[in-house]
Amino acid sequence: MIGDIEVRFEPQGKRIRIRRGQNILEAASRAGILIDAPCGGKGLCGKCKVRVRNEKLVPSPAEEKLLSPEEIERNIRLACQYFPQSDVVVEILEPAIESIGKVELEKGLFRIRSRCPVSKFFLSLPPPSLEDQRSDEERLLSALAKADRIAPFVRLRLPKILREANFQVTATVVEGEVIAIDKGNTEREIYGVALDIGTTTLAAYLLHLPTGTKVASYSALNPQTIYGADVVSRINYTIEKKEGLAEMRQRVLEGINKLLDEVCSFSGVCKEKIYQATVVGNTCMTHFFLGVDGRNLAFSPYVPAFSRTVQLRASEAGLDICPDARVYILPNIAGFVGADTVGIILATGLYKKKGFYLALDVGTNGEIALGSREGITVCSTAAGPAFEGAHIQFGMHATSGAINRVYIEDDVRIGTIDGGAPRGICGSGLLDAVAEMLKAGLIDSSGRMLSPEEAEGFSPALRERLLIYEGDRCFVLSRAEENALGRDIFISQRDVRELQLAKGAMRAGIEILLKEMGIEARQLEGVFLAGAFGNYIRRESALTVGLLPPLPLDKIFMVGNAAGRGAMMALALPSALRRAEEIARNCHYIELTASPEFTNYFMDGMLFPEYNVLSFK
Amino acid sequence: MIGDIEVRFEPQGKRIRIRRGQNILEAASRAGILIDAPCGGKGLCGKCKVRVRNEKLVPSPAEEKLLSPEEIERNIRLACQYFPQSDVVVEILEPAIESIGKVELEKGLFRIRSRCPVSKFFLSLPPPSLEDQRSDEERLLSALAKADRIAPFVRLRLPKILREANFQVTATVVEGEVIAIDKGNTEREIYGVALDIGTTTLAAYLLHLPTGTKVASYSALNPQTIYGADVVSRINYTIEKKEGLAEMRQRVLEGINKLLDEVCSFSGVCKEKIYQATVVGNTCMTHFFLGVDGRNLAFSPYVPAFSRTVQLRASEAGLDICPDARVYILPNIAGFVGADTVGIILATGLYKKKGFYLALDVGTNGEIALGSREGITVCSTAAGPAFEGAHIQFGMHATSGAINRVYIEDDVRIGTIDGGAPRGICGSGLLDAVAEMLKAGLIDSSGRMLSPEEAEGFSPALRERLLIYEGDRCFVLSRAEENALGRDIFISQRDVRELQLAKGAMRAGIEILLKEMGIEARQLEGVFLAGAFGNYIRRESALTVGLLPPLPLDKIFMVGNAAGRGAMMALALPSALRRAEEIARNCHYIELTASPEFTNYFMDGMLFPEYNVLSFK
């Protein structure tokens, strides 16, 4: 549907035609430019800021509320609130995808154990003649001891490739099936890709399968983000809009195929030479990836459509790799404990540990697994998006310029991701700030922040940072003149409450699992912190705010994207793929919403520990 | 691509817009009306006649040559030669598909041995609850002892169907996979379809699988006919035209899906309840059906792309039945001995006979199999299209009004298909006419027809039928006043030559096979005549013209569409499907074009037997 209004996006220079009644958020998304909009374009989060160049606009009520007078003066508006009436030029202030996307080229740095499931054979076949009229298929298969059939796309391509290559070809074989045919000798080019479909972030890991070497990896914002930061908004979109589910699938496929483009062009690997893919993601993301209705995940009893390992071909999955490549979606455990958790359990080896270990994936939705080789219990808890920087006044994703480290002594010192000028606060920065404020006494164990008047005993520098903004107590982390925003970046009392809700939910989950397994926190051999958040977090802060039960620091391990690593293991090692299925089948799932004790643990968990009881140093 | 000229077709009343430079043959095909054009629209066969209503046209040179002055006067033109310049109304004289299409409804009449490969199970599943949060997939599979996985479309549909049916569903299982899910109890509805894709005719046989009962069958002209009557013209089209192969595939799928519509609406069977399909056809047709390039079939050494049994899902094949139904394309033996021949061998039981049998599929391309349970040898021979009524002056398909029986005593008596007024001559009519003329002495053993002057000893009635038309000797079978054409329908000397070429090629193939197996014709236990032609033929005539070697009449069996019957057996009996693969693998193929003796046998075979040596009566 092409409309009659032209929107030009700068600095990208992209133009798109829209109809009256479409907003800039939709227009940008159609133009392939992602604007972060955690609330899904409802005018609630105030994140989707753009600057309108050639038109002076009256701000909407939502904009009046969510934008500063300076921003309104600069003609900054919310993309979701702006419905152009005529041709317009719009300036994108922070394109979400460019700022997160990052290719990592890794040569021989990272290797995993591999038992390559894909074999390649260079063949010099006799050309057909009146004495040898075997079909192309027969000619190929009779030269291959390890294959007895050809895949659909091979059947289509075989006649042409055989003749163009003068019958000198390389056959790719998986489980007795020829899945690809190349001209000449390409025996060494065997790649696989592990995909992690997060609600927020997509990641692709390209592996050279015979050696288990990670060749490159890439991550980018999940383009579905425009439908909302959390899975429930996205499920709602698929319920409310006809074709919404197909759209949701299309989005994530576009995002993944773009990742594949990047990772391949960067490493010089031909996409057609990727012969296997594994996929992890939370349950809802795996549903969307397959185009399966996930509406039942949003309502009690939160039942997924499928949970076992799914196997299909790349052409069916919509992945732009070798079309007959096998794609495996790792199994889900429950509606809110997905294949990503299975990946974490696989990667951390939780299922084979002698003692008890805890594995946490901290995010909008927190997944928690507790167990040993004797058995694993898992649960999921709706922590809310505070850990991802959403619902926080100056919250942002963990990208360049995000405040991620806070130290408070006589004054405040901050650190940012990539060392850039501060632009906002990410989840780990929030956690750090609150932990330091707790230690300094600026927040008490109930979470109450001191008012400027109550801070008499503090240094003047700290006192000056306490202020009241729109009736709410605030603590300034970065002054307007020091940062990229041109206004004070602060933590508000409300932000502290958001963090309390998030960490309270996580902690309640941990306590219920401990109780279920009949053990105490001190019996834990270790805690694995996984996920992007888990990578940036300071262990001390996690303990200070009570996200984790009291434990010695050296028992806490930051394991980064363990879900992605699990996907890589399942890619390179067929036994790991089978193990994933066993893990999912044998995990004991606890539904927290059905647990009568959850509310109590949640209330307790929201409180901060008294600072003097902390003895983890 | 929509053009600015409107063509209306009568009596169908269909309208279509075309561009300048498109002819009526293309326009009709786009409008879903098939006009028979054996030469593929090259202006050579003169068959694609239409009447133009509102425009007086100057005939093209091809039309001058191929149409009678009366036809030109009546404004009859060739659809392939007429490129309208403005809006036009065109009258279709003989829509090909309607005249061949025939639904046969058969209840309990025809049954084959069945060991149903598809099972259905009615399940009353417990609805999910917070105490039972298993996924839909798990819930279904754990209730099914015989299944351990769900098919892709079931995965997509499961959540909705389970809930709409209140968890009372019927699961369809094939080889451990749930391929369909219905609301309520549909255990009794298990159907399969056997498809025969002939160069000329498509046929569908609908079977109730548990009982092996044929419920209905339907046949129609292969819509690819507009690209030419023979496979080589069609292959040429796919070579010459970009997207020609995709178009060819699309055509045959449209044709088949239309058959499925007919057969299902006629029998009241829901298409979604067809859970398995088998396909036979010649090698080229199976290539087109799968969209596989068949160009190498057209050039020595005539190599197919594939030859083994192909298994795929209905959704991949493009068949409009249960999307996860399994579709099996029976194996091919060689470039010109396809799955249809495998079907004939299966249906006639040639592979398990104690003595030697011969099986012939007589058509444009004649396939011949000779053998016993000790082994089978096959060959293919390009008989040319005379047996299909093409390249014959008044030739037509074996449809209503075709002369198919000729008796000559003092005068000529004829019979037509369905008893209608004569419109032309089909293959069996041609064979009959020539056989009777031979017996009467109107043709000698070299094939030469008597001129009117040489017929002095004959009855006046017969003498009057001998005439010279455009320099060629002719014998009139039906007078202008007796038939639907309004002009004399005759057999010309050239027609006799066409028949000699056709039967010479067939006979040469038979002789070479006999020699290869080291046996004489008299050692044959029997001959199976298969195919539409084989159904209408008179055995005496086949012997009189020498199509078959001298044999007692009672050793000749008309087996009708044995290829289709073979497909039905493979559908209802998994062991027959496996047997088909063995047959294809073990058949010994002889390439006649590589046989040094072929020319000799062909020359001999073209001659007619001396009438006095015939002793088969």
In SS3 terms, A590-605 reads as ECHHHCCCHHHHHHHH
d(Cα B274, Cα A360) in Å, to the nearest integer? 48
Residue type, A190: I
In this prediction, residue B382 carries a pLDDT of 82
A160 contacts in chain B (CB < 8 Å): 293
Q: Do the domain assignments include residue A450?
A: yes
d(Cα A366, Cα A427) in Å, to the nearest integer? 13
pLDDT tens, B271-285?
999 999 999 999 999
State whether B491 and B595 are in the same domain. Answer: no
Contact across the interface for A133 and B310, Cβ inside 8 Å: no
pLDDT at B119 over 70: yes
In this prediction, residue B100 carries a pLDDT of 39
Contact across the interface for A156 and B291, Cβ inside 8 Å: yes
* Cα angle, residue B118 at apex, residues B116 and B122 outer, rounded to 5°: 120
pLDDT at B419 over 60: yes
Of the pLDDT bands very low, low, confident and very high (cuts 50, 70, 90), residue A203 is: very high
Angle, helices B574-586 vs B562-572, to 10°: value is 130
pLDDT tens, B536-563?
788 899 999 999 999 999 999 888 889 9
Angstroms from B306 CA to nearest CA on chain A: 5
Q: Do the domain assignments include residue A426?
A: yes
pLDDT at A614 over 50: no
A302 contacts in chain B (CB < 8 Å): 133
Q: Do the domain assignments include residue B451?
A: yes
pLDDT tens, B457-476?
899 999 999 999 989 999 99
- Of residues B510 and B51, more confidence is placed in B510
Q: Closest partner residue to B135 among A138, A155, A304, by Cβ?
A: A304
A163 contacts in chain B (CB < 8 Å): 296
Q: How many CB pairs under 8 A join A and B?
A: 123
Q: How long a stretch of residues is chain B?
A: 617
State whether B323 and B201 are in the same domain. Answer: yes
Residue A103 burial class via C-beta count within 10 angstroms: exposed 0-12, middle 13-18, buried 19 and up: middle
d(Cα B542, Cα B609) in Å, to the nearest integer? 11
In this prediction, residue A509 carries a pLDDT of 96
Following DSSP, what letter does each residue of A424-467 receive, concatenated? EE-HHHHHHHHHHHHHHTSB-TT-PBPPGGG-TTS-HHHHHHEE
pLDDT at A304 over 70: yes
- The domain that holds A296 is classified in CATH as 3.30.420.480
Contact across the interface for A306 and B332, Cβ inside 8 Å: no
pLDDT tens, B522-543?
999 999 999 767 667 888 999 9
Following DSSP, what letter does each residue of B70-89 receive, concatenated? HHHHTTEEEGGG---SS-EE
Task: Choose the mutation target among A129, A132, A135, A178 for the interface with B, i.e. most B CBs under 10 Å.
Answer: A135
In this prediction, residue A57 carries a pLDDT of 80
Q: Do the domain assignments include residue A110?
A: no
Of the pLDDT bands very low, low, confident and very high (cuts 50, 70, 90), residue A378 is: very high
State whether A66 and A126 are in the same domain. Answer: no
Contact across the interface for A159 and B292, Cβ inside 8 Å: yes
Q: B162: alpha, beta or left, given left = phi > 0 and alpha = psi -120 to 50?
A: alpha
B334 contacts in chain A (CB < 8 Å): 133
Following DSSP, what letter does each residue of B355-386 receive, concatenated? S-EEEEE-SSEEEEEEEETTEEEEEEEE--GG
Task: Choose the mutation target among A131, A133, A310 for the interface with B, i.e. most B CBs under 10 Å.
Answer: A133
Q: Do the domain assignments include residue B288?
A: yes
Nearest to B282 by CA among B235, B219, B321, B327: B235
Return the top range by mean pLDDT from B207-216, B286-295, B532-541, B601-610: B286-295
Angstroms from B329 CA to nearest CA on chain A: 13
Question: Both tokens of residue B263?
Answer: 């057969």
SS3 track for A177-241: EEEEEEECCCCCCCEEEEEEECCCEEEEEEEECCCCEEEEEEEEECHHHHHCCCHHHHHHHHHHC
State whether A243 and A381 are in the same domain. Answer: no
State whether B176 and B215 are in the same domain. Answer: no
Task: Choose the mutation target among B133, B245, B299, B593 for the interface with A, i.e. most A CBs under 10 Å.
Answer: B133
Q: Closest partner residue to A296 among B130, B159, B300, by Cβ?
A: B159
In this prediction, residue A407 carries a pLDDT of 94
Angle, helices B283-290 vs B244-267, to 10°: value is 90
Contact across the interface for A137 and B334, Cβ inside 8 Å: no
Q: What are phi and psi of A430, to 5 degrees?
A: -60, -45
Q: Look at residues A288, A308, A329 and tell me which one is the last residue of a structural domain.
A: A329
What mean pLDDT comes out for the span B138-165?
Answer: 97
* Cα angle, residue A155 at apex, residues B360 and B300 outer, rounded to 5°: 50
Give the N- to C-terminal CA distance of chain B in Å, as an integer. Answer: 62
pLDDT tens, A542-561?
999 999 999 999 999 888 88
Mean pLDDT of chain A: 89
Contact across the interface for B137 and A305, Cβ inside 8 Å: yes
State whether B516 and B578 are in the same domain. Answer: yes
Contact across the interface for B138 and A308, Cβ inside 8 Å: yes
How many CB atoms sit inside 10 A of residue B249's CB?
Answer: 19
In this prediction, residue A47 carries a pLDDT of 77
In this prediction, residue B107 carries a pLDDT of 41
Nearest CA in chain A to B160: A293
pLDDT at A173 over 60: yes
Nearest to B434 by CA among B452, B448, B454: B448
Q: Closest partner residue to B300 among A130, A155, A160, by Cβ?
A: A130
In this prediction, residue B468 carries a pLDDT of 94
pLDDT tens, A574-600?
999 999 999 999 999 999 988 889 999
A290 contacts in chain B (CB < 8 Å): 155-156
What mean pLDDT comes out for the span A170-177?
Answer: 97
B135 contacts in chain A (CB < 8 Å): 303-308, 332
d(Cα A72, Cα A86) in Å, to the nearest integer? 20
ω before A11 within 30° of 0 (cis)?
A: yes
Q: Give this complex's ipTM.
A: 0.85
**Any alpha helices (H) in A10-94, and if so which ranges?**
24-30, 61-66, 69-73
Angstroms from A596 CA to nearest CA on chain B: 13
Nearest to A477 by CA among A494, A464, A468, A458: A464
Angstroms from A133 CA to nearest CA on chain B: 6
Angstroms from A309 CA to nearest CA on chain B: 9
Angstroms from A298 CA to nearest CA on chain B: 13
- How many angstroms separate the Cα of A549 from the Cα of each of A448, A520, B49? 21, 10, 89
pLDDT at A438 over 70: yes
Q: Do the domain assignments include residue B205?
A: yes
pLDDT tens, B308-324?
999 999 999 999 999 99
Q: Look at residues A329, A361, A389 and tell me which one is the last residue of a structural domain.
A: A329
State whether B161 and B281 are in the same domain. Answer: no
pLDDT at A123 over 50: yes
A316 contacts in chain B (CB < 8 Å): 152
How many CB atoms sit inside 10 A of residue A229's CB?
Answer: 27
d(Cα A320, Cα A234) in Å, to the nearest integer? 24
Contact across the interface for A304 and B594, Cβ inside 8 Å: no
Residue type, A502: A
User: Which residue(s) pair with B280 in the sheet?
Assistant: B196
Q: Do the domain assignments include residue B189?
A: no
pLDDT tens, A287-300?
999 999 999 999 99
A144 contacts in chain B (CB < 8 Å): none
pLDDT tens, A63-119?
888 888 888 888 888 888 888 888 888 888 764 433 333 444 444 446 778 889 999
Q: Look at residues A305, A329, A353 and tell me which one is the last residue of a structural domain.
A: A329
Contact across the interface for B160 and A591, Cβ inside 8 Å: no
For chain B, helix, strand, coil in percent to 5 are 40, 25, 35
User: Is residue B177 a contact partner of residue B150, using CB atoms and an 8 Å limit?
Assistant: yes
* Cα angle, residue A563 at apex, residues A561 and A568 outer, rounded to 5°: 95
B181 contacts in chain A (CB < 8 Å): none
What mean pLDDT comes out for the span A163-177?
Answer: 97
State whether A369 and A487 are in the same domain. Answer: yes
**Any alpha helices (H) in A268-312, and if so which ranges?**
283-290
In this prediction, residue A110 carries a pLDDT of 63
Nearest to A499 by CA among A455, A533, A468: A533
Q: How many CA atoms lie within 13 A of A451 on its CB side?
A: 5
Task: Choose the mutation target among A132, A303, A307 for the interface with B, i.e. most B CBs under 10 Å.
Answer: A303
* Cα angle, residue A172 at apex, residues A167 and A178 outer, rounded to 5°: 85
In this prediction, residue A16 carries a pLDDT of 84
Which pTM does this prediction carry?
A: 0.85
Query: Scanning the structure block, which residue is given the tokens 């069977």?
Result: B269
Please name the residues in contact with A573: beta carbons below 8 A apart, sequence gap of 6 or more: A112, A113, A114, A115
Nearest CA in chain B to A245: B156
Residue type, B179: I
State whether B288 and B246 are in the same domain. Answer: yes
State whether A223 and A350 are in the same domain. Answer: no
Q: Beta B310-313 vs B149-150: how paired, if at all?
A: unpaired
Q: Which residues of A132-170 are buried (b: 16+ CB within 10 A; e: fewer)?
A: ebbbbbbbbbebbeebebbbbbbbbbbbbbbeebebebb
Mean pLDDT of chain B: 89
Please name the residues in contact with B592: beta carbons below 8 A apart, sequence gap of 6 or more: B379, B380, B381, B508, B509, B512, B598
Beta strand residue intervals within B479-560, DSSP E: 489-492, 526-530, 556-560
- Of residues B53 and B372, more confidence is placed in B372
Nearest to A529 by CA among A305, A376, A367: A367
Of the pLDDT bands very low, low, confident and very high (cuts 50, 70, 90), residue B110 is: low
How many helices (H) and strands (E) are present in chain B, helices listed first? 19, 28
d(Cα A76, Cα B235) in Å, to the nearest integer? 62
**Which structural domain, as residue segments, surrounds residue B406?**
386-499
Q: Which residues of B206-236 are buried (b: 16+ CB within 10 A; e: fewer)?
A: bbbbbebbbbbbbbbbbbbbbbbbbbbbbbb
pLDDT tens, B252-269?
999 999 999 999 998 999
Angstroms from A373 CA to nearest CA on chain B: 23
In this prediction, residue B229 carries a pLDDT of 78
Of the pLDDT bands very low, low, confident and very high (cuts 50, 70, 90), residue B481 is: very high
**Cα dihedral value B193, B199, B200, B205, nearest 10:** -10
d(Cα B347, Cα A535) in Å, to the nearest integer? 68
d(Cα A282, Cα A280) in Å, to the nearest integer? 7
A292 contacts in chain B (CB < 8 Å): 155-156, 159
pLDDT at B356 over 80: yes
Return the top range by mean pLDDT from A276-285, A426-435, A608-617: A276-285
State whether B373 and B515 are in the same domain. Answer: yes
Question: Both tokens of residue B266?
Answer: 């006629």
In this prediction, residue A611 carries a pLDDT of 61
- The domain that holds B380 is classified in CATH as 3.30.420.40
Looking at the structure of chain A, the number of domains it has is 4
Task: Choose the mutation target among A292, A316, A581, A590 for the interface with B, i.e. most B CBs under 10 Å.
Answer: A292
* Cα angle, residue B438 at apex, residues B434 and B439 outer, rounded to 5°: 120
Nearest CA in chain A to B137: A306
Contact across the interface for A138 and B308, Cβ inside 8 Å: yes
Contact across the interface for B133 and A591, Cβ inside 8 Å: yes
Question: Both tokens of residue A444?
Answer: 């008490």
User: Is residue B474 a contact partner of residue B468, using CB atoms and an 8 Å limit?
Assistant: yes
pLDDT at B417 over 90: no
In this prediction, residue B615 carries a pLDDT of 47
pLDDT at B105 over 50: no
User: Which residue(s) pair with B122 in the sheet?
Assistant: B170
Q: Is B317 in a helix, a strand, or coil?
A: helix
Nearest to B403 by CA among B223, B536, B258, B227: B536
Q: Closest partner residue to B156 among A128, A292, A335, by Cβ?
A: A292
Contact across the interface for B301 and A130, Cβ inside 8 Å: yes
In this prediction, residue A419 carries a pLDDT of 85
A291 contacts in chain B (CB < 8 Å): 156
Q: Do the domain assignments include residue A139?
A: yes
A152 contacts in chain B (CB < 8 Å): 312, 316
State whether B206 and B303 are in the same domain. Answer: yes
DSSP B163: H
User: Is residue A177 a contact partner of residue A147, using CB atoms and an 8 Å limit?
Assistant: yes
A330 contacts in chain B (CB < 8 Å): none
Nearest CA in chain A to B332: A135
- The domain that holds B171 is classified in CATH as 3.10.20.880
